[in-house]
Amino acid sequence: MLSGIIDRIMDRDIIHIHIPAFPVQAMRLARPGLRNRPVAIAPPAERALVLCASPEARKEGVFKGSAVCKAKRVCPGLMVVQPDPALTEKVFKEIVSVVSRYTPVWEASRPGHIYLDVTGTRRLWGRVKDTAYRIQKEIKSLIELCSAAGIVANKMVSGIASKLLKAEGMLYVNHGDEASFMAPLKVGVI
């Protein structure tokens, strides 16, 4: 009985919140005319590379790391926008203000990606899936951003789980099933 209690205490609840194409989504908040159009974020240089591409641009064959001149040939309607670090930082701070209400233990890996350790918050927020759903709903209603959430017992697998979702959604991996979840994935995903 005691070992079961200790095992339960040891289980971590980690949520990775991922805002797909975060710089593009942040830009769309400031410039609504960019919504539902193929958009790429790239510096204003002759041989610039795409830093971030919207889902609409990815459907047309434009990806992060593509040369802008090639991206424009592949997707003639592509809107190329300069990066705006101040805007990205401002929107990210709004996201942080939402997630920090759910746990004091969080870590931003980069803008648009936040790990939350919600271990021990079940009495306050309910099941970890409910907590993730509540966070996603709040981000969507307050900031108007869609997010993906990976829920697992560790940071690495939760980050992979959320990135597998190319759009809004939630992927939960049961405690102890991490190895079977990771086994079929390609090495490039890991």
Distance CA 80, CA 74 (A): 13
Write out pLDDT tens, residues 61-84: 999 999 999 999 999 999 999 999
pLDDT of residue 45: 87
Of the candidates 18, 57, 23, 20, the residue with the CA atom closest to the CA atom of residue 39: 57
Tokens of 149: 């959430």
Q: How many degrees, rounded to 5, is the angle at CA 105 between CA 100 and CA 111?
A: 60
Q: Would the pLDDT of 6 be above 90?
A: no
| Secondary structure of residue 93 in the 3-state scheme | helix
- Over range 163-183, report the average pLDDT: 89
The pTM score is 0.86
State the first-to-last Cα distance of the chain, in angstroms, to the nearest integer.
36
Write out pLDDT tens, residues 77-127: 999 999 999 999 999 999 999 999 999 999 999 889 999 999 988 899 999
Distance CA 50, CA 166 (A): 18
For residue 4, what pLDDT band results from cuts at 50, 70 and 90?
Answer: low
